[in-house]
Structure 1
Amino acid sequence: MSVFTETHEYKWQNNIFTGEWVSASGGGRNEVLEPATEQVLTTTGLASGNDVQLACARAAETQQDWVKHTPRERSAIFLKAARFLEDNAEELALLIARETGGIIPKGQHEVKEAAFILQLASSIAVEADGHTLASTPDRQSYAKRLPLGVVGVISPFNFPLILSTRAVVPALAMGNAVVSKPDTQTPLSGGMLLALALEEAGLPQGVYQVLPGGADAGEALCTAPEVAMVAFTGSTDTGRKVGELCGRNLKKVSLELGGKSPLIILADADLDVAASNIAWGAYFHQGQICMASGRVLVHESIADELAQKLVEKARHLPVGDPVSGQVALGPLINRRQVERVHAIVHDSVKAGAVLQAGGEYKGLFYQPTVLSGVKPGMRAYEEEVFGPVINLTTFKTDDEAVRVANDTEYGLAGAVISADLARAQAIGAQLKVGMLHINDQTINDECTNPFGGCGQSGNGHAVGSISDWDTYTHWQWVTVKQAATPYPF
């Protein structure tokens, strides 16, 4: 089975997905650029706000039938969709690498995890969805979970297949219809590939729809009366706007936002192991990850030696076109992001940080960068960089490490590395983060864990396994008497 149609034309060519592959109502088109070459990879449809409104209305209708499908029927669809991804894994991974600028193993990881999320959803569909409650002898009382109706999903460019699938599929499994607006830079990975898989698996038309679009499409999704909630993953600034729109329209909202995750290295850490963890946490996918190790806090006694190990890594990590398979880092997503990363690095150097490696770029390829002496007030200390930059800050005591780690508006992930496990756990227990990793770096997700943060990183553990029932359903309390009985008046 191939991702391509028999004519070798992509189904998504110039199209949006409404259950069928059709043109946007105004004929809008969205050119998708391959970051490594900056050439057009493909063209999808570009949905307008009106397209989104029509999709939401259709989703409300199709959801009424979808919720009547038996749990086993829904479960079987997700298993078939997972097999579609697995059967086409090699081709899909390459396409994801080309569209996102990630290395091929990153594309392979996305396909594998998306298939696993579909498999998890097949189990969610047949899980118990209620509780019997204590009541009076003549009355049965129970609470059950009901789907919200229509769920809107807005997903980002960095890990688009995983970050779309982890919201779309649990919502579908619980009986909701979903209208998805992927980032226009990555509409294939962000929704079209999943649409192909679910279409092949027999999902009824209109239950899942994919409409790449701009700000007007996003606003329409947040304001459409049929949409009961919006699941948003992306920047904190955009998340605020989504939250405001949803709040104004009394919609439930799930916000998984940015981060400035601290990675603390204590003086007793193995420096080679620590350097490996730091480089992975800061450089994987060019640092374009919300839980990247955005601030590396190092005990002052080992700072110089550890910095030299990181400089050596930065100078030897290959950067280039991920399709070649011979690189560790690919391109950033666009020129605007390259310029932003470069400005943060050099503004920080002007403010007193020391540029020990990198700080240069060619095209969209930014060199792995090491900054030492990063202090409060510098952009590299304060802002989420979203680029391949290691920001080194020193500390003297454990208390100072905790204070500096918590000196941020974000609260997504945190990590501590030490040979003394009890000491590391004691420090970790004081970090204000939603995800904590002891003797590891900050980039971790197993799809079976609640994922999210606090502060400006979002409104809690919005996605992931045990939290999905709370996110995509609401409780209904039901009581039943054998017959009506009179009251005192």
Structure 2
Amino acid sequence: MNSGAETKEWSGRLYSDGWVSALGGVSNVVEPSTSEILGNVGNGNRDDIARAVQSAAKAQLAWAATPFDQRAAVLREAARLLKQNEGEINEWNVRECGSTPAKAQWELHATYEQLIAAAALTMQPDGELYPSTMPGRMNICRHVPIGVVGVIAPWNFPVLLATRSVAPALAVGNAVILKPDVQSAVCGGLLLAKVFEEAGLPSGVLHVIPGGPEAGDALVRHPQVGMISFTGSTAVGRSIGATCGQMLKKVALELGGNNALIVLDDADLDAASSNGAWGAFLHQGQICMQTGRHLVHRSVAEDYANKLVERAKALRVGNPFKDQVHLGPLINQKQRDRVDDIVRKTVEAGAKVRTGGEYSDLFYQPTVLTDVTPDMPAFNEEIFGPVAPITVFDTEEEAVELLNSSPYGLAAAVHTRSLSRGWALASRIRSGMVHVNDQTVNNEFHVPFGGMGASGNGGRFGGAANIHEFTQTQWVSAMDAPIKYPF
């Protein structure tokens, strides 16, 4: 795995029983910091997906029959190779996705942990023995592979969020077709394919088909794909969920969020503002768990805002491949214009810009808004940019009501000097994840991860939850001698 797109097997191709030309043509890889074309990748279409599904369905049977220790060995070797090639993978993450080197390195390490955890899944119990009312009957409920799993991964944390589904799906015996976003197809797809190829994964078990809506729709609708794991916007997730529901197909949806950080009147404001800045501005706010709403008690709101503004002003924005910066570019012009539109409309409605609210090219300055009310766009919409809107409350009941007013329910955080107070408040919050005295952007590979409401359909990733997510349950009963019934 040498650096330089021109030397790559994947240049202009996709991975489907080896490196092949895409029937759908090619797409350019564009660096958001500079608009430079870094290379090109295969752009999959319906025919590419159909070809991949047929291959995967055949290869899956032998892969599922492979002894668990051999499947684990492939995953561990993939983890080793990921680390071995971290320099190349991280550089593509920086250039392709606008990640800072620190963010790219964290993502690679988290991906490594996902692979190691997936290898351990192979040796977990794959069934349970239940008692029977029939003498001599043995009841076993066991986890069996789904078959072919389609994974549709996003561009913001492309290495981790692809592997989060790919690795456990492979571990429990499925074949996988990964469709990375074309904006992150190299680090979030083709380099992962190369890692698994070199790790010894049999041909046909993993296919990587970069592509746009046509490829994604074909993957979702193919009758031989037994499950879709989708990470992305709520709007697209609803459409995928509707299609999978009609087809009676298993689907895991990890969708958007409008996550809130509650700062109570007794909070440590230095710590709370640090958490607020990290949650709002990390990776330019392009995270589903981004702290998009800062709900602050009126008595400490001005102090919190001042501290948050001070932190925002200290952040440097620029090209993460060339300079030492805290924030890189937004992924594309459409995203930048959407973020700016939310800010402008919120200010027109009466909010104040305390810092930021400006951009150059795709570089958006860290922005703090105050006097934000629940009827403003920055309160109601998922921003997905480096914007921290502050809304004031007077009572805990009002804070909970404000937080729960959003249809999303992915992540939340509460800051207070009283753990019991924070714990009690967490129990009233409708969110898949709540963190007391921390921020909203949290992920641990062994802890079940997922949202409620418009943030997902209840699917969970992480630890033992992966076994249930990527398998089906089969009841097998057996008796030494057959029963004789009355007729």
Q: What is the TM-score when the length of structure 1 is the normalising length?
A: 0.97
Match of 1:219 in 2: 217
Per-residue deviation, 1:483: 2.5
Among 109, 112, 115, which residue is 2:109 paired with? 112
Structure 2 counterpart SS, 1:95: helix
Q: Kindly report which structure 2 residues correspond to 1:195-344, keeping only aligned pairs within 5 A, or say none.
A: 195-344=193-342
Q: 1:275 to 1:359 in 2, by over 3 A?
A: same
Q: Secondary structure at the match of 1:143?
A: strand
Deviation, 1:462, is 2.6
Letter in 2 for 1:123: A
For 2:46 and 2:119, locate their aligned partners in 1 and report how far apart those are by CA, in whole Å.
32
Q: In the alignment, which residue of structure 1 is the partner of 2:49?
A: 52
Aligned partner of 2:33 in structure 1 is: 36
Q: Cα RMSD between the aligned structures?
A: 1.2
Letter in 2 for 1:72: D
Q: Which residue number in structure 2 is paired with residue 100 of structure 1?
A: 97
Superimposed CA distance per residue, residues 288-317 of structure 1 (whole angstroms, 9 cap, x where no aligned partner): 000111100011111112111211222221
SS at match of 2:116: helix
Cα distance 1:83–1:8, how it changes in 2: closer, same or farther (>3 A)?
farther
SS class of match (2:422)? helix
Work out the CA distance in 1 between the residues paired with 2:264 and 2:252: 35
8 Å CA contact retained: 2:459, 2:469: no
The alignment partner of 1:447 has SS state of coil
How many equivalent pairs are there?
486
Question: Offset at 1:54?
Answer: 1.3
CA distance in 1, matches of 2:180, 2:279: 25
Confirm or deny: 8 A CA contact 1:104 1:325 kept in the other structure. no
Structure 2: distance between partners of 1:391 and 1:189:
32
Structure 1 position 245, deviation (Å): 1.5
Shift >4 Å, 4+ stretches: none
The TM-score with structure 2 as length reference comes to 0.98
**Counterpart Cα distance in 1 of 2:47 and 2:219:** 10
Q: Name the counterpart of 1:345.
A: 343
Unmatched tracts of structure 1, length 5 or more: none
**Unaligned regions of 5+ residues in structure 2, if any?**
none
The separation in 2 between residues aligned to 1:481 and 1:274, in whole angstroms, is: 62
Confirm whether residue 173 of structure 1 aligns to residue 164 of structure 2: no
Q: Given that residues 147 and 225 in structure 2 are in contact (C-alpha distance below 8 angstroms), is that contact kept between their aligned partners in structure 1?
A: yes
Q: Deviations over 1:173-212 (max 9, x none)?
A: 0000000111110011221121111111100011000001
Contact 1:450/1:461 (<8 A) preserved: no
Please report how far the alpha carbon of residue 325 of structure 1 lies from its aligned counterpart in structure 2 after TM superposition: 4.8
Q: Deviations over 1:247-300 (max 9, x none)?
A: 122211110000001100112212211111100000000000001111000111
> For residues 248 and 7 of structure 2, what CA distance do their matches in structure 1 show?
42
Letter in 2 for 1:118: L
**How far is the alpha carbon of 1:484 from its aligned partner?**
2.2
Q: Structure 2: which amino acid aligns with 1:472? A: F
Residue pair 1:103, 1:325 contacting (<8 A) in 2 also: no
- The answer to whether the aligner puts 1:363 opposite 2:338 as a matched pair is no
Question: Using the alignment, how far apart are the partners of 1:8 and 1:145 within structure 2?
Answer: 44
SS at match of 1:212: coil
> What is the aligned counterpart of 1:67 among 44, 64, 69?
64
- Counterpart of 2:126? 129
Q: Measure, in 2, the Cα distance between the counterparts of 1:342 and 1:8.
A: 37
Looking at structure 2, the residues matched to 473 and 203 of structure 1 have their Cα atoms a distance apart, in angstroms, of 20
**Contact 2:121/2:464 (<8 A) preserved:** no
Q: More deviation in 42-51 or 189-198?
A: 189-198
Identity %: 48
Please state if 1:476 is matched with 2:462: no
